[in-house]
Amino acid sequence: MRTDRPSARPEDVFSRRASSYATSKAHDDKVTLSWLVDAASPSKDDAVLDVGTGAGHTALALAPRVRRVEAIDVTEEMLEEGRKLARKRGIDNVRFLIGNAMSLPYADRSFDIVTCRRAAHHFTDLERALAEMARVLKVGGRLVIDDRSVPEDEEVDSLINRLDVLHDPSHVRDRSACEWSELVRSAGLELLGLRPYRKHMPLSHFTDMVDPPTESAMRDLVLNASERAKKAVGFEVSDGCIMLDNFFVLISAIKTQ
Ligand SMILES: C[S@@+](CC[C@H](N)C(=O)[O-])C[C@H]1O[C@@H](n2cnc3c(N)ncnc32)[C@H](O)[C@@H]1O
């Protein structure tokens, strides 16, 4: 089983960035959140587990449609932001708790739905995390994952992953749709849907939380990329601002046995 070791722990990075994730438009993006909610097919009696919940955007989007949500994360400061958001929205069926994706603190077959949004690229042992998510799902339960991704292109894969490590040293790896499809099958789940999508965003979205030398290294990486890679990531400079595509994938799967 592969275990990747990033140079920082997510809890060290996210404890400093917690309040900005609570208000982040990219993380509270209603359109892609609605895709995830639809893919989960929630119903009133469902018990949901949201893994790597952060400030709770996914847990809070699902909460009005289900019975209860357990929202877990390794970063207490993120959970505290989630609790504040829940109070602000008058939502009282979400419990925010410390928990690690690689060792879920729940019995087998406890949940109808497991979600994990924009967190899996931080997991040091993704195979184990997926096995855990499959374990806690009931038979017939759905797993829905939304994560940062890369196209099937070695050069662009390397460029995007290097940018992401600079943006966040707890980043492990963004995987392609093909890698995801294999991972989900290896966890013993049946793949229901795989939807790659892109968002054209300013590079500054990723550089505004890093120090000036790292910002400059990120700009250089993009500016010095090959013309082919630049085209593949939709590179453009608009009003002096570097814009490029960010790649994501929405995966849904079911536990059949
Ligand atoms: C980019 S945030 C995403 C938060 C949220 N799911 C969303 O969509 O807005 C990633 C979160 O994953 C958490 N995380 C990273 N590794 C984790 C692990 N092994 N187990 C649980 N949470 C983890 C981080 O603490 C952080 O809050």
Of the chain, the end-to-end C-alpha distance in Å amounts to 23
What value does the mean pLDDT take over residues 71-77?
A: 97
Model confidence at 3, pLDDT cuts 50, 70, 90, reads very low
Percent of the chain with pLDDT over 70: 97
Measured from the CA of 11, which atom of ligand 1 is nearest?
25
Whats the size of the chain, residue-wise?
257
Q: Tell me the two tokens of residue 16.
A: 């400093």
CA distance 146 to 249: 6
What distance in angstroms lies between residue 72's CA and the mean position of ligand 1's atoms?
8
CA triple 206-8-166, angle to 5 deg: 30
What value does the mean pLDDT take over residues 8-25?
A: 78
Given a cut of 70, whether residue 4 has pLDDT beyond it is no
Strand, helix or coil at 188?
Answer: coil
Tell me, what's the pLDDT at 2?
A: 43
Q: Domain residues of the chain, as ranges?
A: 10-152+170-198+247-254
Counting ligand 1 atoms within 8 A of each CB, the residue from 85, 118, 130, 248 with the most, and so the one to mutate, is 118
Residue type (1 letter), 166: L
Q: Tell me the two tokens of residue 73.
A: 């994360």
158 CB-near residues (< 8 Å, 6+ apart): none
CA distance 156 to 147: 17
Counting ligand 1 atoms within 8 A of each CB, the residue from 50, 102, 121, 122 with the most, and so the one to mutate, is 122
What distance in angstroms lies between residue 14's CA and the mean position of ligand 1's atoms?
8
Confirm if 37 and 65 have CB atoms less than 8 A apart.
yes
- 196-254: pLDDT as tens digits: 999 999 999 888 889 999 999 999 999 999 999 999 999 999 888 999 999 999 999 99
Tell me, what's the pLDDT at 1?
A: 35
10-152+170-198+247-254: CATH number: 3.40.50.150
Q: To the nearest whole number, what is the mean pLDDT of the chain? A: 94
Tell me, what's the pLDDT at 110?
A: 98
What distance in angstroms lies between residue 57's CA and the mean position of ligand 1's atoms?
11
Q: Is 53 in the pocket of ligand 1 (CB under 6 A)?
A: yes
Q: Is 122 in the pocket of ligand 1 (CB under 6 A)?
A: yes
Confirm if 65 and 53 have CB atoms less than 8 A apart.
no
Model confidence at 13, pLDDT cuts 50, 70, 90, reads confident
Q: Is 121 in the pocket of ligand 1 (CB under 6 A)?
A: no
